[in-house]
Amino acid sequence: MGQKLIGEQRRTRILELLKNGSAPLTGSELAQMASVSRQVIVQDIALLKARNEPIIPTSQGYIYHSLNAAAPVMVEQIVACQHDGEQTQDELLLMVDYGLSVKNVIVEHALYGEITAQLHIRTRKDVEAFMQKMRSSGASYLFELTGGVHLHTLSAPSQQMIDDALVALREAGFLVSEA
């Protein structure tokens, strides 16, 4: 348990922790470090995001998304997938095994329009953490709103990596058929 931080001092510390962190930090972890409740952290994150700080909530916790000039240029592509909940882990593992990062999941809802959830899944460990969180939370997959149809924004260091993964996704039956 850390020393109790107040207001702006706490928000400055949160930014520092997120900017320097090598892994996402959960609201509970940040709350423990600042000796406040998780709800206070949620409010702090909202205030920081209102100041245009690039904080992204993911299923693994909060990350700070800075535009680092030293970062490699990544290729991105949106793909349309369809499967049931039982196949989610296999789909995600296939993507990360091909070296892809799964940035998000997007569904088109009849009433609310496009709904996007940030995932930022890059490794098998990230997939396991996501699946564990789904099991323990009892939450529903977004694609359950759309009969299993959903989009993913994928990123990789090269288009060839994405193309190779798309072949495997098609062979596994995860891509929406263009027929």
- For 7-64, CATH number out of 3.40.50.1950, 3.40.47.10, 2.40.10.120, 1.10.10.10 equals 1.10.10.10
Q: Indicate if the alpha-carbon torsion angle 94, 79, 76, 113 is positive or negative.
A: negative
Among 52-56, 105-109, 125-129, which stretch is predicted with the lowest mean pLDDT?
52-56
How many angstroms separate the CA atoms of 29 and 170, rounded? 39
Q: Where are the domains of the chain?
A: 7-64, 75-171
DSSP-assigned letters across all residues of 53-66: --EEEETTEEEE--
Q: Answer yes or no: is pLDDT of 178 > 80.
A: no
Determine whether domain 75-171 maps to CATH 3.40.50.300.
no
Residue 74: the pLDDT is 85
Provide the mean pLDDT of the chain.
89
Q: pTM for the whole thing?
A: 0.69
Transcribe 10-32 into DSSP letters: HHHHHHHHHHH-SS-B-HHHHHH
What per-residue confidence (pLDDT) applies to 52?
86
Distance CA 20, CA 63 (A): 10
Go through 92-102 and write b for each residue having 16 or more CB atoms within 10 A of its CB, e for each that does not. bbbbbebebbb
Taking 90 as the threshold, does the pLDDT of residue 51 lie above it? no
- Report, as an integer, the average pLDDT of 117-145: 93
Rg of the chain on CA atoms, in Å: 18
68, pLDDT greater than 60: no
